[in-house]
Amino acid sequence: MFAVIGLVAISFSAIYSAGINYENSFKYVSMQALALGIGFVGLLLLARFNYQYYKYLDKFIYILSLLLLISVLIFGTVKRGTKGWFDFGFISFQPVEIAKIMFILVFASFLDTKSKEVEKVSFLFFSFVILAIHLILIMMQPDFSSTLSYFPVTLILLFMICVSPFYLFCIVIFGALAIGIPLLSTFINMHLKISPSGAFLTSLVFFLKMNLNWLYIIIAIIFLIMCFWWFLWKLKIRISIIYPLVLCNVIFWGCITSIPLEKSLKDYQKKRLVVFVNPKIDPKGSGYNIIQSKIAIGSGKFMGKGFKKGTQTQLGFLPERHTDFIFSVIGEEGGWVIAQLTLFLYFLFIWRCLIIAKAARDRYGSLVAIGITTMFVFYAVINIGMVMGMMPVTGMPLLLLSYGGSSIFSSLCAIGILLSIHIRRHIY
């Protein structure tokens, strides 16, 4: 796995450079090396271990993951507002990272065994129960970005197992409503504060605020959907009544869940999530990170400013240099050449993962491989998109590159599982 080694090498130089001016780069690098060492031990062990046992141990793994998440809620320490860390003095550990991989193992096993019942609603229901328990436990920490990372993995795995596209569509709508409504309202609020222009938008928002009864709107939308269905029925296009009913239910519950979600999200989090659309509406507050990050990447130009010479990084304009915004450091100091190389290596890695998935001995292995791959892709796209101002600022690390012991450890464990699948592709 040449790509992994390449990525890790870039990661080290970037972390070292990011920390150099703050007299703790040695600490960062050594901690990262320690995590990497432990991670490689984990990788080798997991690669040796036959992944097929996971399938039979699924209940045990699931309970273990729940225990981890519950115990962190009880014994964990608080860091940056999140109660998600076990502190062992010199090293601290975030169990969510491991729990994610455990979830993939369990969920793949569940899908594989129940693959005959794909069309049944109870199947979907159970898969969501598995998901929901995890999510609720993580939201109690609360760790919003980790929660988000569960969705694409679940969706892609359901997609792979041939769940009807309609249900997937429903899930997407549900998620979009639950998250979209609070975010949209924050965004509009922020925009109104900044620019009183846009008469149409303003009046619309005022109208909605005056008649602040979401229930009416929801009922109206549901009514419209029913009418549409009835209209199609009349046109002799026969669609089961179940579809519009489910759709209506999804919309209704989506809106309902948006209310507790809105309450649970802190104001600054909401702002951070939406501000990437136009960071200039709050340049000194929530938009600061994105603006500085874009300047850092952009100012790298073709060849970059040179190792340890990035002004954005070294002078502290760029926040969270060694963790979430590590890619900005790479972009600034290495320029387009290195940044594009990083992207290429990352994709190479993803591609290799997908080949493992395709060549796996059984479907369980394939599903696990795809789940893990999706996790990597999702993190990479959100993180790199975030530092380039395309995605919301969620505080997601760039796996394998960002500084962070737990994340590098869990990434290497995940790779270990992938290798285990890879090694056993020809074995009966």
Residues in contact with other proteins by CB under 8 A are 156, 159-160, 162, 284-285, 288, 294-302, 311-312, 315-317, 331, 335-336, 339-340, 343, 346-347, 350-351, 354, 357-359, 361-363, 366, 370, 373-374, 377, 381, 384-385, 388, 390, 425-426, 428
Q: Cβ closer to other proteins: 96 or 163? A: 163
Contact 99, 122 (CB under 8 A): no
Strand partners, 227: none
Q: How far is the CB of 263 from other proteins (least distance, A)?
A: 28
Q: Shortest approach of other proteins to residue 128 CB, angstroms?
A: 21
Nearer to other proteins, 107 or 229 (CB): 107
Q: Which is nearer to other proteins, 216 or 347 (CB)?
A: 347
Q: How far is the CB of 423 from other proteins (least distance, A)?
A: 13
Closest to other proteins by CB, 199 or 427: 427
At closest approach, how far in Å is the CB of 320 from other proteins?
12
CB 295, min distance to other proteins, A: 5
Residue 230 identity: W
Q: How far is the CB of 152 from other proteins (least distance, A)?
A: 11
Which of residues 91 and 303 has its CB atom nearest to other proteins in the complex?
303
Is the Cβ of residue 260 or residue 306 nearer to other proteins in the bound state?
Answer: 306
Nearer to other proteins, 143 or 320 (CB): 320
77-79 and 92-93 strand pairing: unpaired
Question: Which two structure tokens, joined as six digits, stand for 61?
Answer: 């793994």
Quickly tell me which residue has 């899930």 as its tokens: 171
Nearer to other proteins, 44 or 162 (CB): 162
Closest to 327 (Cα-Cα) out of 286, 382, 409: 382
Nearest distance, CB of residue 383 and other proteins, angstroms: 10
Q: Write the CB contacts of 282 (distance below 8 Å, at least 6 apart in sequence).
A: 190, 194, 271, 275, 288
Rank residues 188 and 386 by Cβ distance to other proteins and give the closer one: 386
Tell me how far apart the alpha carbons of residues 290 and 278 are, in angstroms, rounded to a whole number: 10
Nearer to other proteins, 95 or 175 (CB): 175
Q: Which is nearer to other proteins, 229 or 364 (CB)?
A: 364
Measured between alpha carbons, how far is 352 from 331 in angstroms, rounded to an integer? 24
Supply the minimum distance, in Å, between the C-beta of residue 280 and other proteins.
Answer: 13
Three-state SS sequence of the chain: CHHHHHHHHHHHHHHHHHHHHHCCHHHHHHHHHHHHHHHHHHHHHHHHCCCHHHHHCHHHHHHHHHHHHHHHHHHCEEECCEEEEEECCCCEECHHHHHHHHHHHHHHHHHHHCHHHCCCHHHHHHHHHHHHHHHHHHHCCCCHHHHHHHHHHHHHHHHHCCCCHHHHHHHHHHHHHHHHHHHHHHHHHHHHHHCCCCHHHHHHHHHHHHCCCHHHHHHHHHHHHHHHHHHHHHCCCCCCCHHHHHHHHHHHHHHHHHHHHHHHCCHHHHHHHHHHHCHHHCCCCCCHHHHHHHHHHHHCCCCCCCCCCCHHHHCCCCCCCCCCCHHHHHHHHHHHHHHHHHHHHHHHHHHHHHHHHHHCCCHHHHHHHHHHHHHHHHHHHHHHHHHCCCCCCCCCCCCCCCCCHHHHHHHHHHHHHHHHHHHHHHCC
